[in-house]
Each structure stands twice: as C-alpha cells, then as structure tokens.
Structure 1
C-alpha cells in the first residue's frame, strides 16, 4: 500500500511537556491588573451582589487586601472610588482627600513597589452618574475636560503611578497630558481608555461603583459596538495626544478590535475583561455548568493571543493562584 503523504501536526501535541515546549502564547502574573473598589467609612467589606468574590472595601481594611494581592505576586492595581457624597460636578473626584487619593496614599505607603493606576472619571462622583458636566440634559465636552484634568493632577499628587482616564470625552488625553506636565508630572504615563464601547457588559460594575446614569445613557460619548474602524480613529487621536497605553473595553466580544489596535499602534495594549464577562463565568461556575479555572484561563489566553499585553481582570487573584500551582 502506498504510504500517504500528509503533515503530522500531532507530533507536537504528544505530551504536556511537548505542548508546553511549543506553546505560542503565555499568561503571566505580571500581565494582570486587579481592580479595587474603595469606599468611605469604616469596617466595610461588602460583596458586590452581582460580582461574587468582588468587594467594596473601606480604607481601614484596604491594607489587608493589598497584602494578599502582593503575596500573590500581582504587581498592579487600578483604583475606583465610591464616595458617600455626590454632586452635579463630581467634586469628590478631584478633591485632594477624595477616596481614590486617600487609597493611593495608603497603597504607596504600605506597598510602594505596587503600581497604582487611578481611574480618572467623574461618573462615580456625580449625582447624575454621567462622566461630565451636564447642561440641559447634555454632557458638555470641553467644560468636562477641565474637571478631568484637575482629577488627574490630584491623583498624581497623591502618588498614582499611572493615570487612566475612562470618560471618552473628545480631547481628554491632551487636556490631561497638558495639566500633568504643567504640574510637574511629565513622567506620569497615561493609560487611556482609548476604545471604550457603550456596552451592556458594564452592568455589574455599576452595581459596584454606584455609577448608573440617572437619565439617558452614555451612547453620545461611548462608542457604538457595531463600529470597527472608529476604534482606530479613537486610538490614533489618543496616541497623537500623548497616551502611553491603549485600553480596549470590553474585551471578550471585541477581540478583533484588540488585534486591530495591536497591529496599528506601537504601544502597550490593555484588554479590560469587564464585570459582565466576569459575572457570567462566576454564575455558570456556581451552577456547576463550567470548569471555572479552564474557562478563565482559555479566555485570558485568548485576549493575550489577540494582542493584549496586559489584562485588567477581576479574576486576577484566582489566576495568580492557579499560575502558582503550575
């Protein structure tokens, strides 16, 4: 019988060690950025109802959480603040003793080597839940930039290593870059939420941060999820204005966008594995429908394979433990 000629791809899949030898994409603890929700008050560690395993934590309990994060080998956190008081212009966002500013100071005091990324937005601090100044029911772009710039400078003064503006106002990167430079923080990088879609996947986050809009939605400033080329225009603007990192948010339904942005721009690409993506997996795992570890690792590797250099994910602590096991 004539021997058939064909490629034998299975030769490189014969054992776990062989598969590891030729593995193309890797996930490391260094790739992970863990989100923290810090609240005002004392002795608070309240589980977010729609995000099992994620907590709103008061400052007095934050040190314990940070100790665990550092022990797991996670090197970066992103801080979100949940204030007691809100107003029309989000004063708490740029107050020198705001919740994110105080959390930043504590983090840098207790663990100076930990990278602190400050989420720079107004929505958690405004009484209306939008990411800017409101007039006649509209979100005003340019007046909002002034407040975002003030927020960034106050966060940098508190010790933030990276400023991460998430508001999607036009010109937000250049406004913040100029303000940081003027204040003497020219070496503080900007991790821009350059490509942020208006997404239903954000629902659980709004439970955690108390940031749901009191009217309307955010579709006039966040992107239409049907658009692909628009992402490149947004990212290009932010790079030209001085962004050092580019975030694509959400991640799971936007892996094509992650790859597009990676192919077009020579900057670190960050995939934000958002709350809805996290909660779907947690719910399915709690019902015994999926293998949580295998699903999470496959999902995050998929984000790395698509081009992400870093991943913001609520799974960070679990993933760090799993990686230590291997």
Structure 2
C-alpha cells in the first residue's frame, strides 16, 4: 500500500513520555505526514516536555494533543490514557511508540499494511529476526529478553509471536474497544497484560521484523529486578489463562490432558520424595511396586502435560493468511 493511501484513515500515534526530552524530539521529527493525530502523555516527568519544539516539527494538518498525568503512574497508565483519547477522537488505527527513540519509524507502513488489509488485528515489532541488529543489542538485554519472551508466550498463550516485550505496536480500534483497561498494568507489565487481554478476544497478532535502536539513554528497568517484578505476575497470568480457557469458558481435550496429567505428575513427584525420605531413614530399599507406581505416575503425568502444551500451542491465535 502506498503511503498516500494512509491519509484516508484516521491513524493516531500514542507516545508515553518520561525523562526523554532530547529523544522525543528526534522521534517526532521522524513521524510521517499521513498521521491524523499525535497524542503525547506526560507521566509527570522531571524533565519537561519540549512542547514548542515538538509543535514546530509536526505537520500542520496533524492534530497534536498534550496530556499530563497528575502523578507518576507508569508507562502503562500513560499509554492507556493515550489509547482512551485516541478512541475518543474516533481513530481507526492506533500506534504506540516509545519516546526513547529506540524504534525505527521507517517500519510504520509495515505495521499498518496488515491491519488495513485485514490480515490481523494487532501488529508488533520483532527485534529478533534481524541478526545484524541483534548483535548490536546489549548481551544482557538480549539474554533477558529471550528468556522473558518464552515465559510471556506461555503465560499469555501467544506461542507464535516472538519478542512480546516489544512496545512498538499498532492495533485496530475495534479490538481496543473490547479490552478492559482496568485490567491492564500501569507499569512495565503493560505489554504482557495487554497480550493477556487480547488472547481472550482471540485477536490475531502479526510479527513485523525490524531492528531496535540503542543509544546512550539508560532504561529505568534494571535487569536484575526482572525475575522479581515479572515472576509472580507471569505465574498469576498463566494460571488465570489456563483456568479460564480450559475450565470456565470451554472444556476440551486439552482440559482432559490437564485434569489428569497435572495431578498424576504431582502425585508421583510428592509421593516419590516422601517415600525416598522414608526408606532412606530406615536404610532399606523401597518395594518394587512403590517404585513402579511413582515412575508410572510421573511419566504418564508428564506425557499428558506435554500433550496439553502441544494442544495449547496448536490452538494459539494466529495471523490470518
């Protein structure tokens, strides 16, 4: 689709802002002229938002809105407020861009085209398909993102989408309207909570390969904090998804696998540990029958859990062909 065709659609860009006064100016300078509106949400940043510089760079035909949170609530809260404003003004497509200039805006058409061609409901950037750009990503961040990406896949159910922590995304307004904003996280867990909400709407998400840009700015999120910040939340998201998807909203073969597999595996594991301690204390070998019960329970339970995982992966939402 040619760039000029984008002007027939109301396309809004939402930018949550916090301590990126220099970077946001570069971001604004790279935005295309076909945008209908730009919404910048200042999350009580200590570094003032350079409004005058921004207004000079924006196309006169593009509407710009400056919103400000009364208190610092986090990037998720700022994004949610921007989304609500975009829906309020009747936007058709809504793009979320960070203010830190780590997103290559040349890929905006690649994000928009699949949505306009009705191939998917959401598009997200994927930084892991460009090996050259991947090498430029700091090694600690690369390892952290890879591990976190796998855990988020399991928690949200979007097994076919890589780089789920990428905040460069675009959504159809119809899909965004269906979401319960009160269940979206206000801080760093925002992207994951968004995916968790989209899963139950069976929204199709398309990955768009693109590089990331890393400058001299420092992230507010420390790598060592990630397991503590995300661990409990990912577990909570995963458990809620499994219960809702396989036992509340539906009951299918995956439910049967889980219903028998998990209890069998846990029985074999706990009973096995208990018996091992008991017979170790009395310094004797466990009976063959006991060993067989433990072994069969663990093997059969594990196989059923693997079948449940396979079923979950096969039935995960996929982009339309």
* Greater per-residue strand proportion: 1
Q: TM-score w.r.t. structure 1 length?
A: 0.28
Structure whose alpha-carbon radius of gyration is higher: 2
* Greater per-residue helix proportion: 2
